[in-house]
Structure 1
Amino acid sequence: MLASATTLSEPSRCKRLKAASTRDHDSVDELVMAARPFDDRERYGLFLQVQHRFHGSLLALYRDEQLNQRLPGLVQLSRFEAVETDMRALDLALPPMPKQISVSPAQALGWLYCSEGSNLGAAFLFKQTQRLGLEGDQGAQHLAPHPDGRALHWREFVAKVDGLTLDADEEAEAIAGAIAAFDSYRTILREVFPD
Structure 2
Amino acid sequence: MNATETLEATRSQRLKAATRASHGALDKRIMAGEIFADRDRFARFLRVQYRFHRDIDALYANAALDALLPDLAERRRLPQVTRDLHDLEQVLPGPVPMRLGPDLPLPAALGWLYVAEGSNLGGTILYKMAGQLGLDADFGARHLAAHPDGAAGHWRAFTAALDTVLLTAEQEQQVIDAADAAFRSVHDHVELEFA
Alpha-carbon distance, 1:124 to partner: 1.4
Given residue 139 of structure 2, which amino acid in structure 1 is its aligned partner?
Q
Letter of the aligned partner of 2:100 in structure 1? Answer: I
CA contact (8 A) 1:71 1:160 kept: yes
Question: Residues of 1 paired with 2:26 and 2:148: CA distance?
Answer: 26
* Displacement after TM superposition at 1:96 (Å): 3.3
- Letter matched to residue 43 of structure 1: R
1:50 aligns with 2:48: yes
The aligned length equals 186
Paired position in structure 2 for 1:112: 113
Counterpart Cα distance in 1 of 2:53 and 2:124: 17
1:166 corresponds to which residue?
167
Instruction: Answer whether contact 1:59 1:100 (CA < 8 A) is retained.
Output: no
TM-score (norm 1): 0.92
Checking the alignment, whether the CA contact within 8 Å between 2:26 and 2:183 is kept in structure 1 is: yes
Q: Tell me the C-alpha RMSD between the 2 structures.
A: 1.2
Of 64, 68, 75, which aligns to 1:70? 68
Cα distance in structure 1, aligned partners of 2:180 and 2:100: 14
Which sections of structure 1, spanning at least 5 residues, go unmatched? Answer: 1-8
Instruction: Give the TM-score normalised by structure 2.
Output: 0.92
Gaps of 5+ in 2: 1-6
Structure 1 residue 92 displacement after superposition: 1.2
| C-alpha distance in structure 1 between counterparts of 2:95 and 2:124, whole Å | 26
**Correspondence 1:87-166 to 2 at 5 A:** 87-97=85-95, 99-102=98-101, 103-166=104-167
Residues 136 and 142 in structure 2, CA contact (< 8 A), matched pair in contact too: yes
CA distance in 2 between partners of 1:10 and 1:110 (Å): 20
**Does 116-125 or 151-160 show the bigger shift?**
116-125
Structure 1 position 63, deviation (Å) = 1.2
